[in-house]
Amino acid sequence: MLEITHMLATDLDGTFVGDTKGLKRLIRYYEKLPYEVTLVYITGRHRDSALSLIKTENLPIPQILVTDVGTTIYEDKNFKPNIEWDEKMKQNWYPESIRKVALEFPQLIPQQLPADRRVSFVIEESGTGSVKGFKEALAEEGIPHKFIFSSGRDIDILPSHSGKGEALRFITENYTSDDTSILVAGDSGNDLEMLTLGYPSVIVANARKELLEMKEHPNLYRATQNCAGGIQQAWQHFYG
Ligand code: GLC
Ligand code: MG
């Protein structure tokens, strides 16, 4: 991989994707810059779902694709999984025990996923009261995990050393230098970790409630425009 001078690490749904015109403008803006902006997509979707979105929305092919809320890192144009990260994800990971605890909470509807990299559920608004109970039950059982609740609807239980923030940290350690200009962009709860690593970050205007309540940090920019328009605003703010 070439040396990365500039990098956009962005969530897809509701952030990079969601406003077609804004995205076209952002891509055109990046094409005109005198340097290359390396794209890293960091999504909650699983691989096939992310690839199908890239295809249907005609998104630029990223240099690195992180799927399943930071539990898999695919590199290069042919999307080979990073083996070191895969091995890390297998340590202290007990999806069966997590599913067993979840059985006590009938409001949790299991998401059908192609692999056991994470255990995810959706919950109806009327059932959100049981989120806390589920969280406590997992902690009581002493099962190592990371608990992520997004958009008042999605619950992702991940290996404890994973998540979008940890994945981004791994990427920056392996691929960037202190001189790389980075922008991190997101709109919902599963983005919180990567938005608080301290890198220049943007919360797009259409962000979910859980991010609007997020603590400020000096490198955090709150865009007034939605989705890709907000990313462009932030890029101009930090690097324009
Ligand atoms: C995406 C994924 C879903 C996940 C959610 C929150 O919508 O498709 O599986 O639970 O993001 O991370
Ligand atoms: Mg999103």
Supply the DSSP string of 56-114, one letter for each residue: HTTPPPPSEEEEGGGTEEEETTTTEEPHHHHHHHHTT--HHHHHHHHTT-TT-EE---S
User: Which ligand is nearest to the Cα of residue 68, counting in written order?
Assistant: 1
Domain ranges, ordered by start, for the chain: 6-88+162-239, 93-158
The yes-or-no verdict on residue 91 having pLDDT over 80 is yes
CA 148 to ligand 1: nearest atom = 12
Residues, beta carbon < 5 Å, ion ligand 2: 11, 13-14, 187-188
Q: Ligand 2 centre and the CA of 68: distance in Å?
A: 12
Residue nearest to atom 12 of ligand 1 (CA): 44
**CA 180 to CA 114: how far, in whole Å?**
35
Pairing of strands 220-222, 6-10: unpaired
Q: Shortest CA distance to 13 belongs to which of 150, 119, 135, 108?
A: 150
Q: Which CATH number fits domain 6-88+162-239: 3.10.129.10, 3.40.50.300, 3.40.50.1000, 3.40.50.1980?
A: 3.40.50.1000
Residue nearest to atom 5 of ligand 1 (CA): 44
pLDDT in tens, 111-157: 999 999 999 999 998 888 899 999 999 999 999 999 999 999 999 99
User: Which ligand is nearest to the Cα of residue 111, counting in written order?
Assistant: 1
**CA 204 to CA 240: how far, in whole Å?**
18
Q: Ligand 1 centre and the CA of 4: distance in Å?
A: 28
Identify which of 156, 157, 164, 210 to mutate to test ligand 1's pocket (most ligand atoms within 8 A of the CB): 156
Residue nearest to atom 10 of ligand 1 (CA): 154
What mean pLDDT comes out for the span 175-190?
97
Residue type, 142: G
Per-residue confidence band for 2, with pLDDT thresholds at 50, 70 and 90? low
CATH architecture for segment(s) 93-158: Alpha-Beta Complex (3.90)
The yes-or-no verdict on residue 38 having pLDDT over 90 is yes
pTM of the entire predicted model:
0.97
Identify which of 12, 17, 45 to mutate to test ligand 1's pocket (most ligand atoms within 8 A of the CB): 45
Sign of CA dihedral 143, 144, 149, 153: negative
